[in-house]
Amino acid sequence: MNQNMIIEELTKIVGEDGIRINEPMSRHTTFRIGGPAQIYLEPELSQVKEVMDYCRNHDISCTVIGNGSNLLVGDGGILGVVLSFGRRASAVKVDGCHIHAEAGALLSALASKACEAGLTGLEFAAGIPGSVGGAVVMNAGAYGGEIADVITSAEVLTEDGQVETWTCEDLQLSYRSSRLMRENALVLSAAFQLAEGDQSMIRGRMEDLRRQRISKQPLEYPSAGSTFKRPEGYFAGKLIMDAGLRGYRVGDAQVAEKHCGFVVNRGQATAAQVRQLMEDVTLRVKETSGVTLEPEVRMIGEFL
């Protein structure tokens, strides 16, 4: 099947508003880095299973992304289909102390909705730039809170195309990991259980965390957040700083001076430069501390 026929069939599923050809992935990652997606789709939630079934039945590569907040996309772009859980799959509904959110909803929007409803438990998520789907897959967390603390269930699309409801226990959430990741399953939506709280206190806590982020994180530059996972018993940023790598650069990719756990794009960084810098950091930290850093950033696409 040629590309034009594939595009025609996918357009029937998602509509003309839901498809773009050769879409620069730099527009869809917080790193602001990445070559073009051959076929970029932003379906409604009800269309996701049909898209995935079509790609599987026709042996078309399909890469699924959320808000692109933990991605490094290669400079050569992504072949096949990129399915983005975005604005067309981002509904959030509050019902008492329960919140139901589609996978494309931003965590920050979820935290804001909870605050408006006087619900506590999601304050930690207010400054996390990811989407609900990605956050569940990675069990995102910050400042002592994580998704595992508040999620009750998720509607999941399995690798073989079945739609199932998985409880929190089924999801097997752990530090930056889950059963979803291991079984290549997608989150379609998620349900959360919160508690009633004082709205002014909730807003105050969110504002306090926002100030902490601004003071400690290099938010003035594009990045993918924490670049490396936290090694057990250590902090990645301190290991990198102790290795003498604060401010280390490869082209426009740099170990942030404000927080060494972040790699930032100082302007025109390429994916190849970021990957090289990460390799250099990993080698140097291993030499100086004996600790092997593991990337928290997910690398996808064609690296040149």
User: Which residue is catalytic, options 179, 213, 246, 296?
Assistant: 296
67 backbone dihedrals φ, ψ, rounded to 5°: -85, 0
Q: Which tokens is 154 given?
A: 């998720």
Cα 273 to Cα 252: distance, rounded to the nearest angstrom: 7
Q: In 3D, which of 99, 73, 67 has the Cα closest to residue 86?
A: 67
Helix (H) or strand (E) run with residue 266 in it:
none
Q: In 3D, which of 181, 126, 123 has the Cα closest to residue 154?
A: 181
Q: Which tokens is 58 given?
A: 């026709």
User: Which residue is catalytic, options 32, 88, 176, 275?
Assistant: 176
Q: What single-letter DSSP state applies at residue 121?
A: S
Q: Is 226 marked active-site?
A: yes
Pairing, β 223-226 against β 298-300: unpaired
Residue matched to tokens 């938010």? 219
Handedness of CA 228, 38, 135, 165 (dihedral sign): negative
User: Which residue is catalytic, options 155, 205, 226, 275?
Assistant: 226
Q: Return the biggest CA–CA distance within the chain.
A: 58
- Whether 196 and 97 have beta carbons less than 8 Å apart is answered as yes
Residues 6+ apart with CB under 8 A from 214: none
Cα 194 to Cα 260: distance, rounded to the nearest angstrom: 34
Residues assigned a catalytic role = 176, 226, 296
